[in-house]
Homo-oligomer: A and B are copies of this chain.
């Protein structure tokens, strides 16, 4: 077990397809995965991961350990946006700070799935319940972000948006975040994986497992294209924003690794937990922020999480975190 895993990760075809996407943007190719196909691929991945997680949990059963990890997950999802917000306030306006904080406090499902793929390639086991951890971490950061924005906002009379005054109220946004398509799909598949018989889950395996890796590679090509297209927006971004996009995830990962060490979380689960903390949302949270904090600059928080933090995590972060966890966990 050494740093070779980093290199192996790098020349992994799934990761290489991500770079192909970046490359295509760089040479200004018209290569573009149609948006509906993109969405299908992302739903497919959630469908498979949820089902698999549920099926695995129904084998392993529940234990105290699981609840500890889930608790860490939620606590981190509340803590990260909080301290991120105060770091961000030193340079950004209120709205941007709140939106970026929510973005980094929440999670990236694709990074999570890439980490699962990484574990499978390294034949390291992990608990199916981590899928629940991911789902649990999606919404809290949005709440924290919006509450912070609300608290610090000048108490000016706000222009009513739409008819209902509470149209974009925190309660509504939170409800929407929890009913977010990705969350419902992965948690639904998770529950279906738990209640379905082993044999019936097995009959789905050619769809959910055999072609999974190929679909992921194809999807990462798309992610590379999307990330590449957002890169140019960063030219106007401050050095502060760029540093934030790498350093804060690393700090979050460090805290997660520390907690995993203290509480002796299993290696595979520890990696996934770390990746969840280190990752930033670029699908669900931006969509929520666009509505609830329309004054925040989507041209800033999306590129930060999608074009910097995401590649950083899947290329360097995952193998790095895994290397460290291997050193410190038995």
Bound together, the chains give a CA A214 to CA B51 distance in angstroms of 11
Is B210 a contact partner of A206 (Cβ separation < 8 A)? yes
Shortest CB–CB separation between residue A312 and chain B, in angstroms?
21
Is B206 a contact partner of A28 (Cβ separation < 8 A)? no
Is A206 a contact partner of B206 (Cβ separation < 8 A)? yes
A13, CB-defined interface residue at 8 Å: yes
Residue of B nearest to A47 (CB): B218
Residue of B nearest to A50 (CB): B20
A interface majority secondary structure: helix
A29, CB-defined interface residue at 8 Å: yes
Chain A 1-35 interface 0/1 with B at a Cβ cutoff of 8 Å (1 = within): 00000000001110011001001100111111111
Q: Which of A63-110 contact B (CB under 8 A)?
A: none
Bound together, the chains give a CA A25 to CA B45 distance in angstroms of 21
Is A204 a contact partner of B217 (Cβ separation < 8 A)? yes
Shortest CB–CB separation between residue A279 and chain B, in angstroms?
21
Determine the chain B residues whose CB is within 8 A of the CB of A51 once the complex forms. Answer: 13
Interface centre among A13, A181, A197 (most CB of B within 10 A): A13
A37, CB-defined interface residue at 8 Å: yes
| Contacts A16-B196, A20-B189, A210-B210 given; does A181 touch B11 at CB 8 Å | no
Bound together, the chains give a CA A248 to CA B173 distance in angstroms of 43
Is A179 a contact partner of B28 (Cβ separation < 8 A)? yes
Determine the chain B residues whose CB is within 8 A of the CB of A215 once the complex forms. Answer: 207
The 5 closest A-B pairs by CB, nearest first: A207-B214, A34-B36, A31-B181, A206-B210, A20-B188
